[in-house]
Amino acid sequence: MDPAPLDGNSLAGPLAGLFATDVTLVTGRCAHCGDVSVLATCVVYRHPMGAVARCRACTAVLLVVVEHPAGTRVGLPGLAWWQGPAAATTTGAVAD
Amino acid sequence: MSSWHAAQVVRTEPLAASARVLTLAVPGFAGALAGQHVDVRLTAPDGYQAVRSYSLARVGRDEVVELAVDEVRGGEVSPYLVHEARPGDRMEVRGPLGGYFVWRPHDGGAVQLVAGGSGIVPLAAMARARAAAPTSDAPFRLLAAVRTPADAFFAKELDSTEGLTTTWLYSREAPPASTRPPGRLTLDDVTAHAFAPDVGARVYVCGPTGFVEAAAALLVDAGHDAARIRTERFGGA
């Protein structure tokens, strides 16, 4: 039985080794349906191989994280873009 | 925050029929915020590893991790943590993690917590952090949906935490004195017990996916601003 899905909050650990900021606060646009949401709110399926993050609106695969001893590999097959959190909440981030 | 810390079980306490509190000693673990989680990694003698995320039940003490784990039947990790782990057992912890589902004492303003089952754990950490912050006078309310009274984690404490008003809602079996028939969370429950929308409370909802989606939809129906509602869904196993 596969475990029940989690959400993007659970990606904080797997992605922590790759990005200087907490990526779960990043806003992204689904390349498939256009839904714009904070990564923390996407639907995440965790498997022993890694985590698959799907769009909360259309279930398209947004991002895949595989933690490997040689390094963490991230695929972003379904994101049109990412935008960092506002500068007021995270120093050094880009605000629009 | 990205590296794995060696952790050792130092205490276990029963919490409910299928749940318990585990306290881990974790050298190097520091600075956790209420609402954050950790990843726990277990390694079997043959090298097989399993990783699960668990919310912190309490924050404020560095190098100490307090988890409240509910057993997921047939799961790979939680039955071990709930029934077998003993003081001295070793595992690994990564964290504290997550900057989205957090409450900081200087945030200020009213806070509405909405819990489904063991989703109460990170919300209890927020209520405890608020009680421990001498400067915080933010009013807190907690709507806690549980199956039966025996499933209410931290009930005595949350019923008497300063600054917090807790309402327990039972889905399967209510205490004899309860006037509300057992059932799922309804719009009437939200209207009767949650802050009114014009208070502008920050809202934190945590529980299984179905509960979180239903509760968030009811809150929006009740007039709450969707932009002020933060959610965390858990799976378990």
**What residue spans define the domains of chain B?**
4-97, 105-234
State whether residue A79 is helix, strand or coil. Answer: strand
| Spans of all domains in chain A | 6-83
Q: How far apart are CA B68 and CA B157, in angstroms?
A: 14
Write down the pLDDT at residue A93.
39
Between B1, B37, B209, which is nearest A4 by CB? B209
- ipTM metric: 0.82
Q: Do domains B4-97 and B105-234 have the same CATH topology?
A: no
Write down the pLDDT at residue B2.
64
Question: Which residues in chain A have their CB less than 8 angstroms from residue B3's CB?
Answer: 17
Task: Write out the DSSP string of A28-63.
Answer: EEETTT--EEEGGGSEEEEETTEEEEE-TTT--EEE
**Amino acid at residue number B218:** L
Is A95's pLDDT higher than 80?
no
Which range, A17-21, B39-43, B130-134, has the best average confidence (pLDDT)?
B39-43
Write down the pLDDT at residue B119.
96
What integer is the mean pLDDT of A32-56? Answer: 94
State whether residue B34 is helix, strand or coil. Answer: strand
What integer is the mean pLDDT of B97-101? Answer: 96
Q: How far apart are CA B55 and CA B51, in angstroms?
A: 13
Write down the pLDDT at residue B237.
45
Question: Which residues in chain B have their CB less than 8 angstroms from residue A13's CB?
Answer: 2, 38-39, 51, 53, 94-95, 97
Take residue B154 and report the two structure tokens written for it.
Answer: 């931290």
- Which tens digit of pLDDT belongs to each residue from B165-216? 999 999 999 999 899 999 999 999 999 999 999 999 999 999 999 999 999 9
Question: Which residues in chain A have their CB less than 8 angstroms from residue B50's CB?
Answer: 48
CATH number of B4-97: 2.40.30.10
Is A91's pLDDT higher than 90?
no
Write down the pLDDT at residue A87.
66
Is A4's pLDDT higher than 70?
yes
- Cβ separation A9–B75 shorter than 8 A: no
Residues whose CB falls within 8 Å of the CB of residue B48, separated by 6 or more in sequence, listed in order: none
State whether residue B26 is helix, strand or coil. Answer: coil
Write down the pLDDT at residue A5.
85
What integer is the mean pLDDT of B4-18? Answer: 95
* Least Cα separation, residue B73 to chain A (angstroms): 11
What CATH class has B105-234?
alpha beta
Q: How far apart are CA B31 and CA B56, in angstroms?
A: 12
Q: How many CB atoms lie within 10 A of CB B46?
A: 5
Chain B contact residues (CB < 8 Å to A):
1-3, 37-39, 50-51, 53, 72, 74-75, 94-95, 97-101, 208-209, 230-237
Question: Which residues in chain A have their CB less than 8 angstroms from residue B97's CB?
Answer: 12-13, 16
**Does the predicted model carry a pTM greater than 0.80?**
yes
Write down the pLDDT at residue A2.
59
